[in-house]
C-alpha cells in the first residue's frame, strides 16, 4: 500500500480517536464530585450567588452544549481559563509546563535509548554468559521497580548521601530550566530505570533471533568481521521491536510522567495535572488530559508510520501489523 494512503488512514483514525477521547474526557471530568461554581465562591456563598455564577459560566447548559462550546474554543486555540486564576488563560500556564516536560522527555530519551540498545546487543552477543545474566537481571530488577521506589533510591544516593544533586527538581525563581539542567538528571534517571529493562530485553531477544538466522551465519562463514556483521546486518533488522517499544512509550514520556514529576517536584505537565486535580481546577484538568491524549495518539501514529517505512512488509499487508 502507498505510504501516503497509510498516512491518510492513520490520520483519519487519529482524528476519530481524538473526537471520542475528547468527549470521554469532558464527560468524565464533568461528572467528578464538586460544583465548580460552589468551589469558586466558597462555602458561605448564597445559593443565588452560586446560581448566578453557574448561569454566567454556562454551567446550567446541557452537557452537549457545553462540550460543543469547549471543543469550539479549543479549535480556535483557546483552552479556557483556570478556575482559580481569573484573567489568566490556560495557554499561558500549560505550554510552559509542556516545554519543561519535553526537556525531561528528551533527557530521558538520550540516556535510556543508547544505554538500553547497547546493553541489549551486548547481552545477545554474549548470550548465556555471565555478562548476559547480569544485564538480564539488572533489566528485570529495574523494570520491576516502580518509579517512586527507584526515584527515592536515586534521591537517597545522589542527593542525601553524595549531595551531588538537589533533592527536589525545582527551578529557582527568576531562573530558567536551561540554566538548571542538572535538576533534570534524577527524574531522567528514574525514567531510565523503568525503560531500560523493557528496551534492553526486547533488543536482546530480537538480536538473538537475528544472530541465529541463516544470513548472519553465512556472513560470518564468509569471513566478514564480527563487528561489521553485528552492527551492519544484524542490528538493523533487530531494531524494529525496540523502536516499537520506544515509540509506544513516547506518549508516556511526554505527558504521562505524573508520578516522576510529582515525586521530584519537577514543574512539568504531569505535576501540573496533579495540581489541577487536587485543586479541582476543571478546565485545567480537561486541557492537560486532552494534550496528553493528543501526544499519545500522535506518537503512536508516528511509530506506526516509522514501522511502515522501516519494514516494507507492513505496507504490503495494508498497514496492519
Partner 1 sequence: MKRSLIFILLLLVSASLMFALGGKESASDERSVRVAEQIPGLITPGVWDGQAFSMNSSIYEYLIDIDADTGELVPVLATDWETDDGSNWIFHLQQGVRFHDGSEFTADDVKYTIERTQDPSIGHLKKEDFEVVSSVEVLDPHTLIVHLDEPRPTFIYQFTDYNMAILSSQYDYDAFGETQPNGTGPFKMLQIIPKESAVLIKNTDYWESSLPILDKILIYFVGDIEASISMLEDNRVDIVPFVTPTIKNKLDKIDGISVISPYQEQRFISMAVDEAPFDDNRVRLALKYAMDPEVIALSVAKMPLGDGVYYSETPIMNSLAEYKELPLRTRNIEKAKQLLAEAGYPNGVSVPMYYASDHPFGKELSQTVKELAAPAGFDIDLKGYTRDVYLAQYWLNVPLSITGWGGRIDPSMLLALAFKSGGSWNESHMAEAEVDRLINLISGEVDEAKRTSYYHELQSWFFDNGSLINVQVPYLVALSDRVKNYKQPLTMIPQYKYMDVQ
Q: Which spans of this chain sit near partner 1 (rule: CB under 8 A)?
A: 33-35, 38-46, 48-50, 52-53, 82, 84-88, 92-93, 96, 107, 110-111, 113-114, 117-118, 159, 166-168, 170, 172-175, 178-185, 227-228, 230-232, 235, 262, 265, 267, 271-272, 274-276, 278-280
Q: In whole angstroms, how close is the CB of 185 to partner 1 at the nearest point? A: 5
Q: In whole angstroms, how close is the CB of 316 to partner 1 at the nearest point? A: 28
Nearer to partner 1, 89 or 136 (CB): 89
- The partner residues of 81 in beta bridges, in order of sequence, read 89
Calpha distance 252→254 (Å, rounded)? 6
Q: In whole angstroms, how close is the CB of 187 to partner 1 at the nearest point? A: 12
Q: In whole angstroms, how close is the CB of 244 to partner 1 at the nearest point? A: 19
Task: Report yes or no: 289 and 25 within 8 Å, Cβ to Cβ.
Answer: yes
Alpha helices in 84-129 (DSSP H): 90-125
State the cell numbers at 154.
Answer: 536515586
Nearer to partner 1, 136 or 279 (CB): 279
Task: Report yes or no: 108 and 195 within 8 Å, Cβ to Cβ.
Answer: yes
Calpha distance 191→265 (Å, rounded)? 15
Q: In whole angstroms, how close is the CB of 253 to partner 1 at the nearest point? A: 15
Nearer to partner 1, 137 or 148 (CB): 148
231, 232, 233, 237 alpha-carbon torsion, rounded to 10°: 70
Nearer to partner 1, 60 or 92 (CB): 92
Task: Report yes or no: 171 and 123 within 8 Å, Cβ to Cβ.
Answer: no
Amino acid at each position: 500500500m502507498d505510504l501516503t494512503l497509510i498516512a491518510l488512514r492513520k490520520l483519519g483514525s487519529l482524528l476519530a480517536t481524538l473526537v471520542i477521547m475528547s468527549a470521554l474526557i469532558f464527560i468524565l471530568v464533568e461528572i467528578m464530585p464538586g460544583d465548580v461554581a460552589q468551589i469558586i465562591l466558597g462555602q458561605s456563598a448564597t445559593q443565588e450567588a452560586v446560581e448566578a455564577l453557574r448561569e454566567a459560566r454556562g454551567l446550567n447548559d446541557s452537557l452537549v452544549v457545553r462540550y460543543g462550546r469547549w471543543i469550539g474554543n479549543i479549535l480556535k486555540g483557546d483552552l479556557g481559563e483556570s478556575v482559580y486564576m481569573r484573567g489568566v488563560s490556560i495557554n499561558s500556564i500549560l505550554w510552559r509546563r509542556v516545554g519543561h516536560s519535553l526537556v525531561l522527555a528528551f533527557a530521558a530519551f538520550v540516556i535510556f535509548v543508547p544505554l538500553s540498545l547497547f546493553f541489549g546487543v551486548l547481552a545477545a552477543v554474549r548470550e548465556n554468559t555471565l555478562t548476559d545474566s547480569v544485564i538480564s537481571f539488572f533489566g528485570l530488577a529495574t523494570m520491576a521497580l516502580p518509579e517512586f521506589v527507584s526515584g527515592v533510591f536515586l534521591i537517597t544516593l545522589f542527593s542525601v548521601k553524595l549531595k551531588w544533586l538537589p533533592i527536589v527538581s525545582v527551578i529557582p525563581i527568576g531562573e530558567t530550566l536551561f540554566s538548571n539542567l542538572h535538576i533534570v538528571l534524577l527524574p531522567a534517571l528514574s525514567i531510565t530505570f523503568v525503560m531500560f529493562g523493557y528496551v534492553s530485553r526486547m533488543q536482546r531477544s530480537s538480536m538473538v533471533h537475528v544472530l541465529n538466522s541463516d544470513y548472519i551465519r553465512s556472513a560470518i562463514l564468509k569471513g566478514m568481521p564480527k563487528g561489521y556483521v553485528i552492527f551492519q546486518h544484524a542490528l538493523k533488522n533487530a531494531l524494529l521491536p525496540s523502536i516499537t517499544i520506544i515509540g509506544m512509550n513516547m506518549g508516556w514520556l511526554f505527558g504521562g510522567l505524573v508520578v516522576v514529576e510529582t515525586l521530584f517536584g519537577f514543574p512539568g505537565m504531569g505535576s501540573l495535572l496533579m495540581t489541577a486535580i487536587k485543586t479541582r481546577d476543571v478546565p485545567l484538568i480537561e486541557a492537560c488530559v486532552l494534550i496528553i491524549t493528543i501526544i499519545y495518539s500522535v506518537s503512536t501514529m508516528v511509530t506506526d508510520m516509522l514501522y511502515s517505512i522501516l519494514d516494507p512488509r507492513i505496507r504490503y499487508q495494508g498497514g496492519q501489523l
